[in-house]
């Protein structure tokens, strides 16, 4: 288990009470104004790798993640309701924050995979399965799966790994009915997003989603709502379609450039030591920012 990363103090925001900070986002409860009682979710420019929050930040990253999530929420509104109430936020976090509903969150990371890579590939190589789902023999890194699969994971504390779990484990955690709803919504969102991305020359290899239940009156069950971020380079693997070639690591619109540098001789970092990674050099910061901007522009068709 990695040590919990040291996070910078969350900035004070007038009219908001700080509740929690994660690897990237700071969460507040609004204490006054038209949305008093709702949550303010702020995306920082922090970046994490190998369960560490790095000392370096990526300029504009928080704003890119926020704007991309809003773009996707709009396109998924016919599939599932979302938690965003307003983009009118305090001036000091304008452009990188949204006002959202307070939901009863499900303690499950809902992952859909259309291609085999990452932890799914590691599980497959060890067992021939991912989250208890048997897959055909002979698949390689980057192979397209016969059909997308729901491969849930536990929600880990900051500094710990999420762990892949079986569908039965999700049923034991949230109940059979809610497990089915989470699975069906996750696969439905993946199908819609994969289609949109493919039209733009991008493959959606996998994506991680979070859901909560809208609060209702006593004895009532509110609808399941899509929450947190959605289909950003932090929560999804996007690959250029024209460069896809199974059997090797794929070029990716995400922070892979950071991971690659950290594990290169140039960084001088020994991952096994447990020590904090070194600051990123300027060229890695600039290249990482460029990958996030490119993902935003190719998917949305909008200039950053």
pLDDT (tens place) for every residue of the chain, 304 residues total:
444 456 888 989 999 999 999 999 999 999 999 999 999 999 999 999 988 999 999 999 999 999 999 999 999 999 999 999 999 999 999 999 999 999 999 999 999 999 999 999 999 999 999 999 999 999 999 999 999 999 999 876 655 567 899 999 999 999 999 999 999 999 999 999 999 999 999 999 999 999 999 998 777 899 999 999 999 999 999 999 999 999 999 999 989 899 999 999 999 999 999 899 999 999 999 999 999 999 999 999 999 9
Please give the CATH architecture assigned to the domain spanning 16-100: 2-Layer Sandwich (3.30)
In this prediction the pTM is 0.93
Burial 177-202 (b: 16+ CB within 10 A, else e): ebbebbbebbbebbbbbbebbeeeeb
Q: Which CATH number fits domain 104-243: 1.10.287.610, 3.10.450.50, 3.30.70.2860, 3.30.470.20?
A: 3.30.470.20
Break the chain into its structural domains and give their ranges: 16-100, 104-243
Cβ 236 vs Cβ 207: under 8 Å = yes
| Distance of alpha carbon 138 from the chain centroid | 29
Euclidean distance between the first and the last CA atom of the chain, given in angstroms as a whole number: 38
């Amino acid at each position: 288990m990695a040590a919990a990363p040291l996070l910078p103090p969350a900035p004070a925001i007038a009219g908001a009470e700080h509740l929690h900070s994660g690897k990237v986002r700071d969460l507040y409860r609004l204490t006054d104004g038209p949305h008093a009682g709702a949550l303010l979710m702020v995306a920082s420019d922090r970046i994490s790798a190998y369960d560490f929050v790095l000392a370096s930040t990526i300029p504009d990253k928080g704003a890119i993640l926020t704007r991309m999530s809003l773009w996707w929420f709009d396109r998924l509104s016919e599939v599932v309701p979302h938690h965003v109430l307003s983009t009118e936020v305090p001036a000091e976090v304008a452009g990188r924050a949204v006002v959202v509903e307070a939901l009863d969150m499900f303690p499950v990371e809902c992952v859909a995979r259309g291609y085999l890579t990452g932890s799914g590939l590691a599980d497959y190589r060890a067992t021939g399965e991912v989250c208890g789902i048997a897959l055909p023999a002979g698949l390689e890194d980057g192979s397209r799966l016969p059909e997308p699969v729901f491969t849930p994971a536990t929600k880990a504390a900051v500094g710990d790994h999420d762990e892949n779990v079986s569908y039965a484990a999700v049923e034991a955690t949230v109940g059979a009915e809610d497990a089915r709803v989470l699975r069906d919504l996750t696969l439905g969102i993946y199908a819609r997003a994969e289609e949109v991305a493919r039209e733009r020359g991008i493959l959606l290899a996998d994506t991680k989603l979070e859901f909560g239940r809208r609060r209702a009156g006593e004895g009532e069950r509110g609808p399941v709502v899509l929450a947190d971020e959605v289909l950003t380079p932090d929560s999804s693997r996007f690959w250029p379609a024209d460069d896809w070639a199974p059997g090797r690591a794929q070029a990716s619109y995400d922070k892979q450039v950071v991971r690659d540098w950290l594990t290169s001789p140039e960084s001088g970092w020994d991952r096994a030591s447990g020590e904090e990674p070194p600051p990123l050099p300027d060229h890695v910061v600039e290249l990482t920012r460029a990958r996030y901007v490119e993902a935003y522009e190719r998917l949305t068709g909008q200039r950053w």
